[in-house]
Chains A and B, each alone.
Chain A
């Protein structure tokens, strides 16, 4: 069985390139392919997804055990900390399946020598790295995040509309920060060949975002707000939703934008440094 392909004219191709819709279509196609290939080992897929969900709940488990033993984080009720962690996990749950896979994708392709295949495609290398990296297993993280967020919200009085608006705005910045993290990791993956432990470095740094910002000392509070916008991953959006007083949020948002711009610059710089060995 053969299939004939009629390629669109170069003008049409150019027009397609510039549309976001086309980008989206390609992404959906990448998702379908990723699902299809993962379904070869269906049992393992569902098990992995379930585990991803369970692993995500480990941070909240520590919180529950701390409060179970009569201890607490100063100034934070149990359900408030759980909400913070729910927001953090929700952000991570969106980031990991939908675009964070580019990190693993980049590292493995650079190591195998198949990164060149992405570079010769008529799309930007960043787009191709994301499209070919949809991680269906990580949907478990998203489910875990949603469950945690929903569970925590049950114990919180219904927030007013303005709190929701602030929360959504900060949550978008949280996703931008996650994306910037992904860019840095992918960029590092190009030059630090075959080192999958790059993930671990960033995951450990992100751990600062899983707990209330107030538990850290002034120096670390400054670092996670003004240098690496980790506070935006959980602490700030959750505080906005709870109506807690927060300081330095504008600075953190500016920092997130700067972090993203620097991440994009770093990523493209590392791509330029890439030296191919195959073709």
Chain B
């Protein structure tokens, strides 16, 4: 008995990231019915889009290089990426700063950036089987098989988009150090981000001058690029790149965004003041 107690006492605590992932998973498991609402919402959105594009392609065979089949495939993949990449890092950080509770995170032996990231990992693991897998099943009913042409590159691209979307949301959340309540601004940036990332529509549908602008923004790497990597070809603003090239560019953007994140954080954290813990 004594030996068992000693063994329990000396048992190493799980690594921090694992503990955060597990606790977030368990916490959100209690609200899985809320998450499962996507199983109603997403098929409805898909049906609306299905009818829109079916009507459009009755008149035209291709629209901006897309056929009905590839358009539905794009919509399916980008919606799955939307589920995979979703996080509330911006909202959580803003709320913590506004209420002053952020101070408790400053006292913890882990940087909030990593804590928040692993929260996202835990949350999305739950979403994978609650939201993503059933929705893939729904797409299969329409004979849409979200299988990438180059699986390894697609995996790399999806992983990078997962990190990049988190970093961008985190930067948006950091604005709270200056403005405290940022609901409106966050919503504004979110809308811009969603439209410019191609989550609703392929970016090649935009006028060419706007495409050039979208090419230099980081948002395309969240949804448009991984979706195009799934399809096996990339083109935007008349620029054609091979899959390794565009994934390399995506990796570079992740690095740039990470350093931008650190810079904004460094400037913002100086402005935070909190009392009590």
Contacts and interface: CB of A to CB of B under 8 A. Distances in A.
Contacts of B14: none
A20 interface: no
Contact of B34 (A70, A195, A207, A216): A195
B41 A197 contact: yes
B140 to A, nearest CB: 20
B149 interface: no
Interface in B58-97: 58-60, 63-64
Interface stretch (A49-57, A124-132, A173-181): A49-57
Interface stretch (A61-69, A83-91, A155-163, A249-257): A61-69
Interface string A211-234: 100011100100000000000000
Contacts of B201: 62, 65
A130 to B, nearest CB: 23
A150 interface: no
Contact of B33 (A71, A195, A208, A216): A195
B223 to A, nearest CB: 15
A69 B202 CA distance: 12
B125 interface: no
Interface residues of A, number: 43
B222 to A, nearest CB: 17
B115 interface: no
Interface string A26-65: 0000000000000001011111111100110010011001
Most buried by B among A194, A207, A211: A207
Q: By DSSP majority rule, is chain B's interface helix, strand, loop, or mixed? A: helix
Interface stretch (B43-51, B251-259, B265-273): B43-51
B184 interface: yes
B187 interface: yes
A200 B56 CA distance: 26
B205 interface: yes
B56 A46 contact: no
Contact of A55 (B59, B191, B205): B191
A-B interface, 4 closest residue pairs, ranked by CB to CB distance from nearest: A47-B184, A48-B184, A215-B55, A197-B37
Interface of B: 31, 33-34, 37, 40-41, 44-45, 47-48, 51-52, 54-60, 63-64, 179, 181-185, 187-188, 191, 195, 200-201, 205-207
Interface of A: 41, 43-51, 54-55, 58, 61-62, 65-66, 68-74, 137, 192, 194-198, 200-201, 204-205, 207-208, 210-211, 215-217, 220
14 contacts: A44-B181, A47-B187, A48-B184, A51-B187, A54-B191, A58-B191, A65-B206, A66-B52, A137-B184, A194-B31, A198-B37, A201-B41, A204-B44, A215-B54
